[in-house]
């Protein structure tokens, strides 16, 4: 009697792997980060939120999901429009996502505030007079 092997049946988790792309791979392909290792480091460090929650770098992303990415001073909120696991030119990378209107407005407002120096050191327009200096000193010395 010969041994007959049963046909290999793929589980549902293996089918899901074929339909999605890892989060770190997608961020790298969309050119948010220069290397996959850096993308993984940012995900593990809490700089990337997938659908409003922290996630692991191996999380499979799909079209329509929302990702919030923090890069330096800027924070972008993007919707995934297309999937890619290979890194190509920048024009292709821009077709993979669409930034939300609210995110664009917040980034522009923060850039303007940084440019004007409002966020770094809010300063008054005039120096305090003698009475105001006394009040400041009393306020600071009060414990």
The domain that holds 65 is classified in CATH as: 3.10.290.10
In angstroms, the CA 61 to CA 33 distance is 17
pLDDT of residue 15: 42
State the greatest distance between any 2 C-alpha atoms of the chain, in Å, as a whole number.
106
| Count of all residues that appear for the chain in the document | 143
Quickly state the pLDDT bin for 17 (edges 50, 70, 90): very low
51-74 burial string, b = 16+ CB within 10 Å, else e? Answer: eeeebebebbbeeebebbbeeeee
pLDDT of residue 127: 87
Quickly state the pLDDT bin for 99 (edges 50, 70, 90): very high
Residue 141 lies in a domain: no
Provide the 8-state DSSP code for 126: S
Arithmetic mean of pLDDT over the chain: 83
Residue 44 lies in a domain: yes
Number of separate domains in the chain: 1
In angstroms, the CA 20 to CA 18 distance is 6
Residue 66 lies in a domain: yes
In angstroms, the CA 27 to CA 59 distance is 12
What is the extent of the structural domain holding 16?
12-120
Provide the 8-state DSSP code for 125: S
What mean pLDDT comes out for the span 32-57? 93
Residue 30 lies in a domain: yes
Residue 130 lies in a domain: no
Taking the model in full, what pTM does it have? Answer: 0.68
Residue 34 lies in a domain: yes
pLDDT of residue 135: 92
What mean pLDDT comes out for the span 39-67? 93
Quickly state the pLDDT bin for 120 (edges 50, 70, 90): low
In angstroms, the CA 54 to CA 38 distance is 16
């Amino acid at each position: 009697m010969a041994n007959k092997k049963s046909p290999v049946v793929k589980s549902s988790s293996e089918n899901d792997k074929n339909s999605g792309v890892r989060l770190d791979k997608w961020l790298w392909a969309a050119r948010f980060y220069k290397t996959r290792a850096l993308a993984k480091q940012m995900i593990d460090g809490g700089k990337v939120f997938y659908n409003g929650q922290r996630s692991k770098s191996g999380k499979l992303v799909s079209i329509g999901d929302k990702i919030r990415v923090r890069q330096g001073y800027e924070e972008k909120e993007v919707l995934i429009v297309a999937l890619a696991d290979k890194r190509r030119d920048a024009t292709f990378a821009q077709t993979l996502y669409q930034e939300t209107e609210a995110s664009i407005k917040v980034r522009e407002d923060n850039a303007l505030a940084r440019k004007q120096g409002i966020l770094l050191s809010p300063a008054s327009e005039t120096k305090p007079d003698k009475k105001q200096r006394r009040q400041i000193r009393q306020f600071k010395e009060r414990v």
